[in-house]
Amino acid sequence: MLIQLGLNRSSLFLRPSVVSRSTTLTRQLAKRYQSTVKTSFDEELQILRAQRKNRPISPHLTIYQPQMTWYLSSLHRVSGVMLGAAFYCLTIAFGVSTLFGLGLNTENLTTWYKEKVPTWFDWTAKGGVAYLFAFHISNGVRHLVWDLGKQVTNPGVIRTGWAVLAFTAVAGTTFLFK
């Protein structure tokens, strides 16, 4: 069967004459025709400065018209970092307190909060967390919609941006007063 299919013959490309020619060609192509020149540090610096003069200059960001996506993207990142940092700090505080027996528990924390924290700070902290949480959740849903391939046109992106801001206002206010 191997003889009928021709599989018993050696490959045309593995014959010694073909292999030696390709090896010779590879060696010829691999030769470097560049040489290095010893230069001082000052000469290298001059060459570098000359090369930098020929680089294209990118425009400054101030020439671009601000877009809603810039602000929402930045705020999404900032809200994620702030909410994550608050979560991890509180979790680590409870973990360390339990580990070393420092007495930080929800009962003591609630008592301290009601006695020591002024009303204005209470409303400010609740509002900050409520609006950041509402924004981060709604903008996360917006990104999931984009992952589905929906609303990825310019009008769709702007429309979903305004929807995120509207939902944030309503949900953040709802969270604040609960």
Per-residue pLDDT tens over the stretch 105-163: 899 989 999 999 999 999 999 999 999 999 999 999 999 999 999 999 999 999 999 99
Three-class SS state of 128: helix
pLDDT at residue 17, rounded to an integer: 56
Q: Which residues contact 142 (CB under 8 A, 6 or more apart)?
A: 151, 160, 161, 163, 164
Domain 68-176 has CATH 3.50.50.60: no
Contact predicate 140/72, CB 8 Å: no
Pick the more confident residue, 160 or 60. Answer: 160
pLDDT at residue 119, rounded to an integer: 93
pLDDT at residue 27, rounded to an integer: 64
User: Mind listing the pLDDT tens digit for each residue in 25-43?
Assistant: 566 666 667 778 888 999 9
Percent of the chain's residues with pLDDT above 90: 63
State how far the Cα of 14 lies from the Cα of 4, in Å rounded to an integer: 21
CB burial readout 78-95, b (16+ within 10 A) else e: ebeeebeeeeeeeeeeee
Residue ranges per structural domain of the chain: 68-176
pTM of the model: 0.64
Number of H helices, E strands in the chain: 7, 0
Q: Count of residues for the chain?
A: 178
State how far the Cα of 119 lies from the Cα of 81, in Å rounded to an integer: 26
